Amino acid sequence: MLNPTEQTRLLQMESSFSSEFGSAAKIAVRAPGRVNLIGEHTDYNDGFVMPAAIERSVLMLAAPSNTGRIQVHALNYNQSSTFSIEGVQPTGDSRERWSNYLRAMVWVLQGEGISVPGLNMVVQGDVPLGSGLSSSAAMLVAAGLLLSEAAQSPLSPVQLALLAQKAEREFVGVNVGIMDQYISALGKQAHALLIDTRSLEYEAISLPVSGVSLIIADTSKRRGLVDSEYNTRRSECERAVEILSQHLPQIKALRDVSVEQFLSLQQHLPEPVRSRAKHVITENQRTLDMAEALKLGDMQRCGKLMNESHQSLQIDYAVSCRELDAMTEAARSLQGVYGSRMTGAGFGGCTVSLVADEALENFQRELPRIYQQHTGLEAALLVSKAAPGAERIL
């Protein structure tokens, strides 16, 4: 079901499609971006995450063509790209790099034996780029849904998510986890998903439909250092498992270590390996605790867990930055804020705050003012309820 903003965008896209191709679109899909409520840097440690789909999305329209090619126009860039559906390769043209996500899904579906037809397409997204809200996963999931529908080979949401992950890893060349694709494909309105990234089992956790809103605040600090620091953190976590497995031979990942076991064995870990392991192990427990708190409707507890998560990311995992810290501190200084934390890989990007509805107006006015006083940067706020996952809309 489209929200009002998406309905307006769809009408504009239908007009653009008609102008571009001289016909009406036959298929339309949407796929949302996401925000992770808690469970950060746990996914590559086989742990738990809890994202929610947001009311920002990628929309795609298409109609079959008998050309053997995909011809796609991106409204965000006012640029077009055309490529043959045979022997799909990434483009080397920097101006058309956005089309690699579409090319990736053609390639991965063909690898599954799905015959993708020639198509005329229009794509438009309003998930902010580079802010850690998974615009790339939304693009891949939307493309996978549209292409499979056009091929009359519908995929289950889980298949769609797994193929989108494979496309990003093997064609785009980014070694991503499964969280972003999973929530974009499987999101449920008014729910977060508690995802076990080892088994890929998931549980929809109800979020309050009234009384509380998620506020995503973009720090305007583009994320730097993520790739190099990500690789370092990953190797530090692997080192922690290597050492702890001498005492706990059954463990395969930090997900297998309880908080109590860590506390009794932490003296065997050198710094910063000890701190990195502490974050992952306690973050897994916080994620499970937050699921229980949400089921009980305990927003105070949820907020406390979010605050503890940010502190752990800031101190133990060292992936925060001055701007993220300033934003969360500003949020916590305001009335009606249950909790606030960085979301995403870190070193910039966004925060997410749990805010009582009666405090929304004051929060939206005061947070940017306080943040700018401390950093000189402008904050962009996005108020969102938890949105549904990917779906065909035409």
pLDDT tens digits along 95-125: 899 999 999 999 999 999 999 999 999 999 9
Handedness of CA 118, 126, 133, 226 (dihedral sign): positive
The pTM of this model reads 0.94
Compute the distance between CA of residue 124 and CA of residue 183 in angstroms, rounded to an integer: 20
Compute the distance between CA of residue 68 and CA of residue 230 in angstroms, rounded to an integer: 40
- Report the share of the chain in percent with pLDDT over 90: 90
Residue 180 annotated to the active site: yes
Q: What is the pLDDT of residue 70?
A: 98
Count of helix runs (H) and strand runs (E) in the chain:
11, 12
pLDDT tens, position by position, 169-222: 999 988 788 999 999 999 999 999 999 999 999 999 999 888 898 999 999 987
Half-sphere exposure of 326 (CA within 13 A, CB side): 22
Q: Which residues of 359-373 are buried (b: 16+ CB within 10 A; e: fewer)?
A: bbeebeebbbebbee
Compute the distance between CA of residue 64 and CA of residue 62 in angstroms, rounded to an integer: 7
Q: What is the pLDDT of residue 92?
A: 84
Averaged pLDDT for residues 38-49: 96
Beta bridge partners of 205: 192
Q: Exactly one of 43, 46, 180, 316 is catalytic; which is it?
A: 180
Beta strands in 65-210 (DSSP E): 69-74, 79-84, 119-125, 191-196, 202-206
In the chain, the domains with their CATH numbers are: 4-206+388-392 (3.30.230.10)
Length of the chain: 394
